[in-house]
Amino acid sequence: MAILQSRQLTKRFGGLVAVNRVSLAVEEGSIFGLVGPNGAGKSVFLNCVAGAQRPDDGRVIFRDQDTTGSPAERLCHLGLSRTFQIPQPFPRMTAIDTVLVAAHFGSPTDGVPPLEQARRSLRFVDFPHPEGTPVSGLNTVELKRLDLARALASRPKLLLLDELAAGLMTGQLGALEDILRKIRDSGVTIIMVEHVIRTILGLCDRLAVLRQGEKIADGPTREVAGDPAVIEAYLGQRR
């Protein structure tokens, strides 16, 4: 069953069509990869789905509801959470406070008290410091984990990750990949925009490829990765 569908989703900026009639269906319980060269419209697509930008055309169906143009906080309450390419922490809070905010305001609680929910999320991402650590002293990997913990604390059904691996060194990727698998196994669907090919191939069940705003491929990861059109989009035409 598809947890998220986009139908003919379109976003224009003046004369530029950033996302052009993109239709996708993301199966519940899977990790779905969204790839493409820079400027292909991946982040804009994500923004339109997550309520950060309003699509000009087309529909977004999330958990059988038409959520086209819904504001981000409503989507969060419905169970859609996200992280950004650059972590967006609350710079003058502690780690636990940051996560607690999402536990308080995320989708309706399942009876777990917010503080307990927040602690569970921090443990889930193996946050390496005591919970009272100030956010201002954390490094990139720790901030990414914190961003993930905060997203999880809002009890999402669908998690959108925008270039989680960006800015990380290869050695740091493995641990994050393990966390993402753990998240999927706990029943949360993941859509990830990513550039690191190894991470994509290792994690994603399905892939969609965007190029200049249009979807040029969509299918199981292995098939898509071998598609000549995809290779051309990334590497240019073979002469």
Partner 1 sequence: MSAVKQARRHGRRSRLEFASMRSPVVLTLAVTAAVAIVGTARAGPFIIVNGLVTGAIWALVAAGLALVFGVMNIPNFAQGEFFLVGSLSGYLVFTNVSPRIGGGLAWAAPIITILVALLVGMLVGGLLDVVIFGQMRRRIREQWVMNTFVVTVGISVVMINGYQLIWGTDYRGIPAYFTAPPIHVLGVGIAIDRVFALAVGAVAISGLWALLRFARLGRAIRAVSQDEAGALMSGIDISRIQTLTFAISSGLAALAGATLLFNFPAFPYVGIKPLYVAWTVVILAGLGNVGGAVVAGFIIALFQTSTSYFIGSQWEDVVPFALIVVILALRPNGLFGRGVRGVWEQ
User: Which positions lie near partner 1, rule CB under 8 A?
Assistant: 52, 71-73, 76-77, 81-84, 86-93, 97-98, 100-102, 104-107, 135-140, 143-144, 150-151, 153-154, 166-167
Cβ closest to partner 1, residue 21 vs residue 104: 104
The rounded distance, in Å, linking the Cα atoms of 14 and 126 is 44
CB of 98 to partner 1, least distance (A): 8
CB of 16 to partner 1, least distance (A): 19
Tokens at 86, concatenated: 């650059």
Q: What's the min distance (Å) between Cβ of 8 and partner 1?
A: 26
Contact between 45 and 19 under an 8 Å Cβ cutoff? The reply is yes
Please report how close the Cβ of residue 149 comes to partner 1 at its closest, in angstroms: 11
Long-range contacts of range 174-180, CB-CB < 8 Å, 24 or more positions apart?
175/126, 176/141, 176/144, 176/145, 177/202, 177/203, 179/124, 179/125, 179/126, 179/145, 179/148, 180/31
Picking from 7, 131, 111, 2, the residue whose alpha carbon sits closest to that of residue 58 is 7
Nearest to partner 1 of 199, 221 (CB atom)? 199
Q: How many other β-carbons are positioned within 10 Å of the β-carbon of residue 189? A: 24
Between 52 and 61, name the residue whose CB sits nearer to partner 1: 52
Exposure of 15 in the CB half-sphere (CA atoms within 13 A): 0
Q: Which of 7, 10, 66 is nearest to 213 (CA)?
A: 10
For partner 1, which is the closer residue by CB, 21 or 63? 63
Residues 6 or more apart in contact with residue 183 via CB below 8 angstroms: 124, 148, 152, 159, 190
In whole angstroms, the minimum distance from the beta carbon of 166 to partner 1 comes to: 8
Handedness of CA 29, 35, 41, 47 (dihedral sign): positive
Decide whether 71 or 130 has the Cβ nearer to partner 1. Answer: 71
Residue 168: CB atoms within 10 Å: 17
Query: Which residue's CB is nearer to partner 1, number 172 or number 186?
Result: 172
Shortest Cβ 142–partner 1 spacing (Å) = 8
